[in-house]
Amino acid sequence: MYDFIYLPADITTRISFEYAFVNLVSTEAALRFVAHFLGYTGWQEGANRPAGLQWSEGLQGLNELIERYRNSPLMHSSVPDFAKPALSREGARTSFPDPTVPLRRPRMRRTAARRRSAPEGGRSNSESPSERQ
3-state secondary structure the chain: CEEEEECCECCCCCCECCCCEEEECCHHHHHHHHHHHCCCCCCCCCCCCCCCCCCCCCCCCHHHHHHHHCCCHHHCCCCCHHHCCEEEECCEEECCCCCCCCCCCCCCCCCHHHHHHCCCCCCCCCCCHHHHC
Q: What is the per-residue pLDDT for 110? A: 66
Q: What is the pLDDT of residues 5-37, one digit of tens each?
A: 999 999 889 988 889 999 999 999 999 999 999
pLDDT of residue 115 exceeding 70? no
Q: What is the rounded distance in angstroms from the CA atom of residue 46 to the CA atom of residue 84?
A: 22
pLDDT of residue 130 exceeding 60? no
As beta bridge partners, residue 23 has 4
pLDDT of residue 4 exceeding 70? yes
**Who wins on pLDDT, 126 or 65?**
65
Q: What is the pTM of this model?
A: 0.76
Q: What is the per-residue pLDDT for 112? A: 52
Q: What is the pLDDT of residues 69-112, one digit of tens each?
A: 999 999 999 999 999 999 999 999 999 999 999 999 998 766 55
